Each structure stands twice: as structure tokens, then as C-alpha cells.
Amino acid sequence: MLKVYHYPRCGTSKKALKWLDDHGIDYEIVHIVDNPPSKEELKRYIEKSGLPAKKFFNTSGKKYRELGMKDKIKDAALDEMVEWLASEGMLIKRPIITDGEKVTVGFNEDTFEQTWK
């Protein structure tokens, strides 16, 4: 079963859940702010996604701007980025979806078709 880290008021999360529902895919929801992924989980998700750690940041979010993350992550090490993400769920791009082996971040219909269908 898929694990979906999401934020209920996030439009992108809603689109992703609708896509999963429309395709009859079972999932477990985890509130990304109340229960953000741990540092270890984030490291594993980044590795399995094949994406750079910077792609896990919600760059359009208020917290990202408030904390000046744009400048901070430019030269940050993976451990630093993971620390920031794990400590503040609103910094994480959502949804993060995983089956334990594959990981997607955000919602892109083509990516979902290839990964979760």
C-alpha cells in the first residue's frame, strides 16, 4: 500500500489523491505537518526518488520564503537540507508518495501514470 504524505489544504495534494482514487489505488494518508518524515526516511526517499534534495523543498510556500531557504539551500549539504525538512513539514514539497521502493514528489500526471498505475 502506498504511503501519502500530504497537507489537507494543499491543492496539489488534493489532485494527487483524486488521481489515486480515480485509479482505484489504495493508500495510507500521513499529515505532513503533524507527522513529517524523519531524517532517515527523507534521506531514503531522496535516494530512491533519484531527484536532488532541493526538489523536496516547497519553494512556493510561505515558510520557505520566511526562512530565506532559497539562499540557504544553494550550497547546503544533504544532511543540512534533510535536517531542515524534517524539522518543518511546511518546507516539504507535497505530496510525497512511496511504496517503500519508488518515490514521487509533487503531482505530475505522466509521472503518476508511469510510477503508480
Determine contact, residues 46/53, Cβ cutoff 8 Å: yes
Q: Encode pLDDT of 55-81 as tens digits.
A: 999 999 999 999 999 999 999 999 999
Q: Domain 2-116's class?
A: alpha beta
Give the C-alpha separation, 35 to 30, whole Å. 7
Q: Does this model's pTM top 0.85? A: yes
Distance CA 42, CA 56 (A): 9
In what helix (H) or strand (E) does residue 103 lie, and over which residues does it extend? strand 103-105
User: What is the structure's pLDDT at 62?
Assistant: 95
